[in-house]
Structure formats: C-alpha cells, structure tokens
Chain A
Amino acid sequence: MTLLVAEDLHKAFGPTPALVGAGLSIGAGEIVAIMGPSGSGKSTLLHCLAGILRPDRGTVRYQDVDLGSLSDGKRSELRRTEFGFVFQFGQLVPELTCLENVALPLRLAGLKRRDAESRAVEGLARLEVADVAGKRPGETSGGQGQRVAVARALVTSPKVIFADEPTGALDSLNGERVMTLFLGAVRASGTAVVLVTHEPRVAAYADREVVVRDGRSREVERAG
C-alpha cells in the first residue's frame, strides 16, 4: 500500500532552486534512504514530504490526502499524529529530563502524565536508554541523546518517521548502535522511514534508495 507520494516537486529559496521536479513514493512500513551530495536538495525534499515546507509546484499526497489542500493547522496536526521526526541534533528540550522529553508528544496529545510517562519508559527501554530517564539531554552522550530522540519520535506510534542525518553528529560505533536500535524498532512496529543521509553505510540499512542530484530525484534501478 502506498502511504506517501510526491510528484514533480519544485521549490526555490529566492533565486536559488532547491528542487526542480523531484518525486518519490513510499509504501507502508518501507524504509527509503534519500541520498545525494550536500546542497542536492535532499533535506528540502524531506521537508516537503513531511509538510514542513510547501512546494512552489507539485503535490504531496499522504494516504490520498493532498497536503497542499490542508490548512496550516491541519497540516501541523497531521505532523503531530501521523509523523515522527529525528534530526541530526538539537531536538530535545534541554530543560526537561529525557523521560519528560519522550513523554512530551503524548502530553501534547492530551494523555495524562502517568500514562504518557509509562509509555515513555517503555520507549526508552526499547532503545536501551532507560538509565538516562532522569537526566537532562545535556547530561547524556551524543549517542544516548539520539536514542532518546528516536524513542520520542516513536512514542506516538507514527506511520512515518522522517530522519534527517540521524547519525550525522555521531562517531561510527555510536552511529551503528543508533541505526541498529532505530531500525529494529521501526521494523517491529511497521513504521515507514524516510532517511536522509549522505553516508552509504547508513543508507544500507534502508530497503532502497532514492538519489537526489541538482534538485531532481531518481529512484535507483535495481541491478541484476
């Protein structure tokens, strides 16, 4: 089943074109890597797919709903309920503990503190960072912080997680650890992932890759 389809996306920032006819389609539970050099437009593509940016031209449809037809309020509700996000860094609220950070999306969705925190505890345990529950993000290592961020992205049981260079700030070993736990968790829950990365070793965790070059995307033909 196709979950998310983007067609003929164009987006410019001032005179600089970032996307000039990019598109891709993602099935439920599918893990797709978006690859390409810096400045190729891969992050812009991710932001358009996730409804963070409005393309100048082209459509993004999520479960047959055209994101362009939704009001800002409806789009941000969709992001909160159906999507999860993992970025390179700086995504956790520094004043809250890791547990409170993971529980936050559930609290925003109206869950009682106790229920939200008990699900957050499970999420932290699944990413093997239960021991940092009471610490603030600044008191954790980079790898632990990223695993907390993944737990937070997963806690609302989203249909799609958008991950932009999730291991970009980590050394090889911690990057591997984050990817293994992240991918184990999404495969178990059937969550689709759009993974932006310029690292082939990270892209190799995905089911297939889409290459973005000069604002155009290309689904890669399978060899053999």
Chain B
Amino acid sequence: MSLGHALLGLLERGPGHGYDLKKAYDDRFGQDRPLHYGQVYTTLSRLLRNGLVQEAGVEAGAGPERKRYAITDAGVTDVETWLATPEKPEPYLQNTLYTKVVLALLSGRAAAGVLDSQRAAHLDAMRVLTRRKTDGDLADQLICDYALFHLEADLRWLELTADRLDQLAERIGR
C-alpha cells in the first residue's frame, strides 16, 4: 500500500494536520494496524519536498506539530494517475504451503497432516473474520470479505492438493 497516495487522496477533501490524516487513515484503512505518527510526518515531508502538498498555515496551540497541509495540483494529478493504474496482480508462485508439502513428502513425513492442520487454522481465521463481518458495518464487511475470499482460495488449493497427494508423492519419489 502506498501511504503517500493514500494521504494525498485524503487531503483532496480539504487541508488537514498530520494528526487529522492519521486519524482519517486509521478509521478507514488502519484496521488492526494503526499508523505511527513518525510514518505520517516522514511521508508528509516527502510529499512536501516533491511539491505534491504545500503548507497551509500553522495553528497555534499545545501538542505536536500543528502545521496544516493542502494538496497541490501536481498532487491531484498524482492521485489520479495512481487510481487509474491497475495494481499488479500477485503472481503467487512462491508459496510456503507448497514448499512444506513437498518437503514433508521428500522427508517421508505425513504431508496430509500438514494440509489438515493448515486447513483448520485457515477455517479458524475465517470464522473470526465472519463474526467480525456479521457484527460490523459495510466497511467491515468489505474488508473482511477481501480477506475471506483470499483465505478461501488457499483452502480450495489445500483441498485440491490433498486429493492429489498420492500423485505428487509418486512424482517426487522419482
């Protein structure tokens, strides 16, 4: 995730302090991982240096930096380009699960057990997300669904592989 683009996107609604931005980001996208202030200020100074934001006054008052930031025209163009550029789909070709299954087979250990315990762990995680989704609002639902669909894809692979373990063992044994 490009934090710079996310902050620029949030600034398009109007100027704000670093603190406002952190809060807006955490509310919408932070989920279990809120931003550190340090990340926000480092990112804002980079955006400032690159001319994507500009200072829009300093507020008097206690507490940390009260500088306000506003997005520049160059910043708006940058957000537009980012939104219009598709994310590169993950190739998913290196994966730990496949490696574990092959190594279990190579070493004569129970590969089915590796798949089974992974499957149980995946379903446990899916249950937690499903409960959170059921109790949550639309934003929670969409975020949890994204995670659920990915876990489900893993599970389908685990099932398919479980059905082909004998075949795989034969190939590996050669």
Bound-state CA distance A82–B171 (Å) is: 52
**Binary interface encoding of chain A residues 149-167 relative to chain B, with 1 for a CB under 8 A from any of its CBs, else 0:** 0000000000000000000
Please tell me if B31 contacts chain A, counting CB pairs below 8 Å. Answer: no
Q: How far is the CB of A180 from chain B (nearest CB, A)?
A: 6
Decide: A222 and B120 in contact? CB cutoff 8 A. yes
- Answer whether residue A37 sits at the interface, using C-beta atoms and an 8 A cutoff: yes
Beta-carbon contact of A223 and B152 below 8 Å: no
Which of A37, A180, A184, A209 meets B123, CB within 8 Å?
A: A209
Pick from A180, A183, A200, A220: contact of B156, CB below 8 A: A200
Q: In the complex where A180-B134, A204-B126 touch, is A37 in contact with B117 (Cβ < 8 A)?
A: no
Could you say which residues of chain B place their CB within 8 Å of the CB of A207?
A: 127
12 contacts between A and B (CB under 8 A): A37-B159, A183-B134, A200-B123, A200-B156, A201-B148, A203-B123, A205-B134, A207-B127, A220-B119, A223-B120, A223-B121, A224-B124
Residues 188-221 of A at the B interface (beta carbon under 8 Å): 199-201, 203-207, 209, 211, 220-221
Contact A223 B124 (CB under 8 A): yes
Q: Does B43 contact A (CB under 8 A)?
A: no
Does B55 interact with chain A (Cβ within 8 Å)? no
B163 on the A face (CB < 8 A): yes
Interface residues on A, range: 10 to 19
CA distance A222 to B120 in the complex (A): 6
B151 touches A200 (CB 8 A): yes
B65, CB-defined interface residue at 8 Å: no
Q: Whole-angstrom distance from the CB of B116 to the nearest CB of chain A?
A: 7
Summed over the interface, the residue pairs from A and B with CB atoms below 8 Å come to a total of 48
Contacts of A184 in B (CB 8 A): 134
Secondary structure at the A interface, as helix, strand, loop or mixed, is: loop
B104 in contact (CB, < 8 A): no
Q: Chain B nearest CB: distance from A120 CB in Å?
A: 26
Q: Convert B106-117 into 0s and 1s, putting 1 for each residue whose CB lies closer than 8 angstroms to a CB of A.
A: 000000000011
CB of B35 within 8 A of chain A?
A: no
Size of B's binding interface in residues, CB under 8 A: 21
The docked-state distance in angstroms from the alpha carbon of A199 to that of B151 is 12
Once the chains bind, are B134 and A201 in contact (CB under 8 Å)? Answer: no
Taken together as a complex, chains A and B put the C-alpha atoms of A221 and B117 apart, in Å, by 8
Whole-angstrom distance from the CB of A69 to the nearest CB of chain B? 36
Interface residues of B in 144-158 (CB under 8 A from A): 148-149, 151-152, 155-156
Q: Is the CB of A204 within 8 A of B129?
A: yes
Chain A, residue nearest B148 (CB) = A201
B11 smallest CB distance to A (angstroms): 33
Tell whether B54 is near chain A: CB-to-CB under 8 Å: no
Among B117, B134, B152, point to the contact of A200 (Cβ < 8 A).
Answer: B152
Q: Is B130 positioned at the interface, with any CB of A under 8 Å from its CB?
A: yes
The chain B residue with its CB closest to the CB of A36 is B159
Contacts A180-B134, A201-B152; A224 near B121 (Cβ below 8 A) = yes
Q: How far, in Å, is A46 (CB) from chain B's closest CB?
A: 19
Chain A residues with Cβ under 8 A from B148's Cβ? 201, 204
CB distance from A81 to the nearest CB of B (A): 30
B123 A204 Cβ-Cβ under 8 A: yes
The CA of A100 and the CA of B148, in the complex, are separated in Å by 37
How does the 8 Å CB contact mask read for A93-111 relative to B, with 1 for contact and 0 for none?
Answer: 0000000000000000000
B81: shortest Cβ distance to chain A, in Å?
31
User: Which residues in chain B, 31-85, are within 8 Å of chain A measured between CB atoms?
Assistant: none
Contact B130 A220 (CB under 8 A): no
With A199-B152, A203-B126 known, 15 other A-B pairs at CB within 8 A are: A180-B134, A200-B122, A201-B148, A201-B149, A201-B152, A203-B123, A204-B123, A204-B126, A204-B130, A204-B148, A206-B127, A221-B117, A221-B120, A222-B124, A223-B124
